[in-house]
Chains A and B, each alone.
Chain A
């Protein structure tokens, strides 16, 4: 196996953690449904991508669902989300609809970004979701900035800022870590460690303390943690510690969540089975699939049955197909709309927007 798995405290019963103990059966089923919806959304979008209905890149989240669902399920009114280009799972987790997400992939004006951003650039500020960022680690200072704004306004909240195991090597991330600790910003950097940045394994890209990537936080005197992403109870319980720290002490944390992506880096990744073995992928799918494991957990708790699960998968598949129909039936933006949304002042037809020339082609 390419990456070094951390040793997790398997003896801790995360189900008994207060944040999990308070979950009703309905809550637990909802968490399952959210993961199922992400997986189905991704499979259906892959299908239409392969039919040539979308352009650009498609970075699928399949295999990592427990990270977005588990962490975002803990968020309250003043908690904010920002992530990279593998952003569909987070979008659905904050409550964005499949319709607007799918339409964005099809480049339609009913998309969440009016067809202007595409797969990598989803946004929904009304749901505290600040993107969707294509430049590796470009979002990491922004995450600190959202936390700064919360602190500045005196709000009790935090920012969950997601990044990959490859993104941790960007200077912007390290500068952001220093600022976050120096200025006590309530930001939580969530490293979604799927073992690879494109075709490069963790050991070929990162120098780090033996224990893992999050431990680099120690250099900044920052708290950190490492979490087994295949266990939704664990993701929730340990992320809550970081959220409490942010809410109560206004302090940052780096958490590293071990996870795995089943598909290529993007659909265009022709080498997806070259830099890692088929067996490695299969092993994750068979033994570590977060969705299956959560379903099994809930079956063992008597909360769902296998039939419930099948029905849920089917329903989510239908929802995703309906979203694809919605997307196909929607209009593309009008050519004149290319120039909308460039300047606030111009869009709002203000005096400033009408003074001087703004566009030059």
Chain B
């Protein structure tokens, strides 16, 4: 199968959805003429023009809110946040408006918007630019949160998110944009296109001894940790990728834990009420009798993101740390 980058995969998803539905448009800072700060939208303005791919001024509350309003009338805006950290400028719109209009209108209105952009630390841009808000947005009923780890998932999930009739906050990772992986061509697929449903986790590597469960780039960290566990310690770890955080595929997680009897949640998020807290609680509640060890959580060290490059490396989970913590319960 051909290999493309995570960035190209996202770009293909956007291009295909622009072609499929004339109500899909892309709005964000530097998305059009500049080709995107991280080049995710490269070439799309050239191809689709001013109406479909729109450069916005630096007014996140204004243009994200505008996108929410437009979506109420049937437009399907795909909004780019140059960094998901800037969502905090638009927080009121994203929490108060996008998440609640449907409920407060008794179901009369829906908000088919996608807000996407990189939501990660690890690039030494300091605390203001390194937020990981997946748990914060997933906390809010009415919102969906997606966090792909591979090019294939990035493409399939983004296309599905654009078709979803509820607000989807799609969290990417600048450190993954350049990573390559297999993504099928459309003509290799039975339906002629790649769609991955929200709410379906995927076992990225099967294993018998321990479940490493993660989302986003932490999945890649877990895959590396699993290799070390196998090679150096003879431990056969399974790696489960949530892909979508809300809706959450509880069954795939539980199935894995019932098989391996040990679970570690790994995320680059902050620990307090992190995604791992939700998963750990769910596991103990629904698979208590299967557990041979406490469910562990590995997250960012609990401070705002530090700038200093070698330190920030240690602030986020890395394979050796996952190995060390995993060994403590094996």
A residues sitting closer than 8 Å to B (CB atoms) are: 54-57, 104, 107-109, 113, 115-121, 133-138, 166-167, 169-172, 197-200, 204-206, 271, 275, 332-333, 335, 337-339, 341-342, 359-361
Assembled-state Cα–Cα distance A134/B125 (Å)? 9
Assembled-state Cα–Cα distance A335/B301 (Å)? 10
Which residues of B81-101 are within 8 A (CB) of A? 85-86, 88-89
Shortest CB distance B51–A (Å): 16
Assembled-state Cα–Cα distance A138/B129 (Å)? 12
Residues of B within 8 A of A200 (CB): 29-30, 33-34, 55, 57
Residues of B within 8 A of A167 (CB): 58
Residues of B within 8 A of A359 (CB): 302-303
Residues of A within 8 A of B123 (CB): 55-56
Query: Is B312 positioned at the interface, with any CB of A under 8 Å from its CB?
Result: yes
Contact with A along B193-216 (1 / 0, CB 8 A): 000000000000000000000000
Q: Are A197 and B57 in contact (CB under 8 A)?
A: yes
Query: Is B128 positioned at the interface, with any CB of A under 8 Å from its CB?
Result: yes
Instruction: Report how many A-B pairs have Cβ atoms within 8 Å.
Output: 144
How many chain B residues sit at the interface, stated as a range, is: 35 or more
Q: Are A339 and B301 in contact (CB under 8 A)?
A: yes
Residues of B within 8 A of A171 (CB): 59, 61-62, 89
Residues of A within 8 A of B127 (CB): 116-117, 121, 134
Contact with A along B22-37 (1 / 0, CB 8 A): 0000000110011101
Q: Are A342 and B303 in contact (CB under 8 A)?
A: yes
Assembled-state Cα–Cα distance A198/B124 (Å)? 20
Supposing A338-B314, A361-B300 touch, asked if A107 and B55 sit within 8 A by C-beta, the answer is: no
Query: Which B-chain residue is minimally distant from A206 (CB atoms)?
Result: B57
Q: Are A107 and B37 in contact (CB under 8 A)?
A: no
Assembled-state Cα–Cα distance A136/B129 (Å)? 11
Q: Are A338 and B33 in contact (CB under 8 A)?
A: no
Query: Is B309 positioned at the interface, with any CB of A under 8 Å from its CB?
Result: yes
Supposing A135-B89, A166-B57 touch, asked if A360 and B302 sit within 8 A by C-beta, the answer is: yes
Residues of B within 8 A of A133 (CB): 128
Q: Are A338 and B58 in contact (CB under 8 A)?
A: no
Please give 17 more A-B residue pairs, beta carbons under 8 A apart, in addition to A121-B127, A338-B315: A55-B312, A107-B307, A117-B127, A118-B125, A119-B126, A120-B125, A134-B125, A135-B85, A198-B30, A199-B34, A200-B34, A204-B33, A271-B34, A275-B33, A333-B306, A338-B311, A359-B303
Query: Which B-chain residue is minimally distant from A199 (CB atoms)?
Result: B34
Assembled-state Cα–Cα distance A22/B298 (Å)? 62
Assembled-state Cα–Cα distance A333/B303 (Å)? 14
Grouping DSSP codes into helix (H, G, I), strand (E, B) and loop, the B interface class, with mixed when no group exceeds half, is loop
A-B CB proximity, top 10 nearest: A55-B124, A118-B307, A107-B308, A134-B128, A115-B308, A56-B124, A55-B309, A199-B34, A205-B57, A360-B271
Residues of A within 8 A of B302 (CB): 339, 342, 359-361
Residues of A within 8 A of B33 (CB): 199-200, 204, 275
Q: Are B307 and A56 in contact (CB under 8 A)?
A: yes
User: Among B89, B129, B308, which residue has the most Cβ atoms of chain A within 10 A?
Assistant: B308
Q: Are A107 and B89 in contact (CB under 8 A)?
A: no
Residues of A within 8 A of B304 (CB): 342
Contact with A along B288-330 (1 / 0, CB 8 A): 0000000000111111101111111011000000000000000
User: Among A54, A108, A133, A335, which residue has the most Cβ atoms of chain B within 10 A?
Assistant: A335
Assembled-state Cα–Cα distance A108/B308 (Å)? 7
Q: Are B307 and A115 in contact (CB under 8 A)?
A: yes
B residues sitting closer than 8 Å to A (CB atoms) are: 29-30, 33-35, 37, 55, 57-62, 85-86, 88-89, 123-129, 270-272, 298-304, 306-312, 314-315
Supposing A206-B57, A360-B272 touch, asked if A107 and B311 sit within 8 A by C-beta, the answer is: yes
Q: Are A55 and B34 in contact (CB under 8 A)?
A: no
The 22 sampled A-B contact pairs (Cβ below 8 Å) are A55-B308, A56-B309, A107-B308, A116-B126, A116-B306, A117-B127, A118-B126, A120-B129, A135-B88, A135-B128, A170-B89, A171-B59, A199-B30, A206-B57, A332-B310, A333-B308, A339-B303, A341-B303, A342-B303, A360-B270, A360-B302, A361-B302
Residues of B within 8 A of A136 (CB): 58
Query: Which A-chain residue is minimally distant from B63 (CB atoms)?
Result: A169
Assembled-state Cα–Cα distance A142/B94 (Å)? 23
Q: Are B311 and A115 in contact (CB under 8 A)?
A: yes
Query: Which B-chain residue is minimally distant from A113 (CB atoms)?
Result: B307
Query: Which A-chain residue is minimally distant from B88 (CB atoms)?
Result: A135
Assembled-state Cα–Cα distance A138/B302 (Å)? 24
Query: Which A-chain residue is minimally distant from B307 (CB atoms)?
Result: A118
Contact of A55 (CB < 8 Å), options: B30, B301, B307:
B307
Shortest CB distance A231–B (Å): 28
Assembled-state Cα–Cα distance A338/B298 (Å)? 16
User: Among B34, B60, B61, which residue has the most Cβ atoms of chain A within 10 A?
Assistant: B34
Residues of B within 8 A of A333 (CB): 306, 308, 311
Q: Are B307 and A116 in contact (CB under 8 A)?
A: yes
Assembled-state Cα–Cα distance A338/B315 (Å)? 8
Residues of A within 8 A of B86 (CB): 135
Q: Are A338 and B303 in contact (CB under 8 A)?
A: yes
Assembled-state Cα–Cα distance A338/B309 (Å)? 12
Residues of A within 8 A of B309 (CB): 54-56, 107
Residues of A within 8 A of B299 (CB): 361
Query: Which A-chain residue is minimally distant from B128 (CB atoms)?
Result: A134
Residues of B within 8 A of A198 (CB): 29-30, 34, 37
Query: Which A-chain residue is minimally distant from B122 (CB atoms)?
Result: A55
Residues of B within 8 A of A134 (CB): 125-129
Residues of A within 8 A of B298 (CB): 361
Residues of B within 8 A of A56 (CB): 123-126, 129, 307, 309
Assembled-state Cα–Cα distance A199/B35 (Å)? 10
Residues of B within 8 A of A119 (CB): 126
Query: Which B-chain residue is minimally distant from A271 (CB atoms)?
Result: B34
Shortest CB distance A233–B (Å): 32
Query: Which B-chain residue is minimally distant from A339 (CB atoms)?
Result: B303
Assembled-state Cα–Cα distance A275/B35 (Å)? 11
